[in-house]
Structure 1
Amino acid sequence: MPQPPATDHAVHRLVPSPAGRTHLVEQGTGPLVLLVHGFPESWYSWRRQLPALAAAGFRAAAIDVRGYGRSSRPDAVDAYRMLDLVADNVAVVEALGESSAVIVGHDWGATVAATSALLRPDVFRAVGLLSVPYTPPGGPRPSEVFAGMGGESAEQEFYVSYFQEPGRAEAEIEPDVRGWLAGFYAALSADTMPAPGAPDPHFVSRGGTLRDRFPAGRLPSWLTERDLDVYAGEFERTGLTGALNRYRNMDRDWADLADHHGAPVTQPSLFLGGALDASTTWLADAIAAYPTTLPGLTASHLLDGCGHWLQQERPEETNRLLTDWLAALPS
């Protein structure tokens, strides 16, 4: 598998976790910063942050979430519930010989990071959220919410609902993993996303596929052919089921976290979002609620002209904001 030049001084490790094993890549010495990726990515999403955090005096560790890359991939769908991912994160901190860490996540990783901080404040002393705002547990059952997002005509289906049935999305993606990933990354990137008014790539037309709405023919500026080889190579080897199983546990998470409905995350926190990212525009109310839901928020930034893949689209700006925030945290 091609190795990224930005992590020449990083170390690949396998550590024990409730998943079985968790693969991580670490670089630097100092206070531990645990980096958690989203869908459909891997530790490689943090390739530009690992050396920057190391240079700033931190020990950065980017994991492959269970189901991804070289981490274990349990067979059971319910092995990917949020409580299991939190337990994996705690186990990684312990396996690295630390008692606490700052946890930073992007996309699904942001939700995993926030929940880790919520459930284990004894381990995670601060939390950074990229792209996906914090929304406390609670509210209506997720599957019911997503089922209603296609509109009254029901002519289209929200991608989260599309992902629910085991094997359905896999049948679309796995015959051409590389091409599908290229289209998915492009669909949510600022420089290649569909124009306003074009069919929304977060939805599937009835009888169609997600890929029908992806832009074609051009990679986003942050993604080289070599980068795409790395991502595609991992998913060609593992398949997409482990990654998709995260979506298939949202109702279980809703039930598992019932005792925490409405709970704020009180540790020092950071939020970085892309101004052109649907995650921030659709969830603008969640960002507005931060004085209540993230009372420890010490920095929040929306990056103009930026899409969903924040730390890859804007690595230098993300690194600056992230290291400044980390440096200002209490010891």
Structure 2
Amino acid sequence: MVHENQQHGDTTTRRCFQRNGIVVMALIALTTLAVLLGALAGKPQPAAAAPSTDATACATVTAIPVAECNALVELHQNTGGAAWVNRTGWLDFGAPTAPCTWFGVVCSGGRVTELVLPGNHLSGTLPVSLGAFTALTRLRLENNALTGRIPGALCALTSALVEVDFAYNALFARTRSAAQCADALDPDWRATQTTKVTDLHPVEFYTNALRIAWTPISYTADGGYYEILGALDVSGPYSVVAQTADKTTASYLFTGLAPGKSYFFAVRTVTPPHGDQPNTLISDPALTVGATLAVAGARVLVAAYFPADNDLAPEIPYVVERFRRGTQFNHNVQVVL
């Protein structure tokens, strides 16, 4: 792909196309019809490694339940504990009251009642084991670099918690139940999350250009922009092509493309450090694909026949929908069903 230095109204294209392979983790989300666009199946993410908690050390803990001790160790592992700003005491089991002596951990009555780690450079994902803290009354995790989904296990904490702050991270809720629990715990948490854009798709098709559009995120304050990436193959490598002026921009025009070719695009949200937030936050990428218009006479007709009297009959609506969606990304193809 060639991208010239030119202004396109809503954003600026610049020649950089740096090598960058960091969007591969999100390829599983890209599910456009393969028969219309070539091999477009996302690669599955590797299974998450089991947490390497110090089971022996936690087994000797008497200050709190073993499950809560394991959850603290897993939180430290999942969120880059070695790089925390303050990790005083963490993973030190020498004191008879450990882990209640660890920075940010408060215990009462033999239970963890407070976990207070704001602005402490926690990065990564929250472990499901947070649900073990059923006596927790305060959970302060704002102004970190936490990413990924809010665990649904936090629903178990709603009765005891009186103070929760997830603000200024890159968290999202994957399920409705998790979203409802997070809303109950911290009603305005969504307003300050650096999340990926939604509804990313191509909207304009030319022989040498494609415009992609998306719905901007609701958190547009505190600066930031969308990082635009492109690739010639679904598996990458993806290269940074440009960045938008701010987080209100809703489309981008790729130019200098070849006719009748498929191109793969990613958009990530970036929020710079600000106020009490010392971290640069980068969302997971949103992914899409598009095909430039072919030269005259190069259109493709796809005819599909589905006999309704066999075991495949229940799959017909699914296949039809895949065909329909595929033609939205490749206007060179006409499907007859």
TM-score interval (norm. to shorter) = under 0.3
Greater share of helix: 1
Structure with greater Cα Rg: 2
Greater share of strand: 2
TM value normalised by structure 2: 0.27
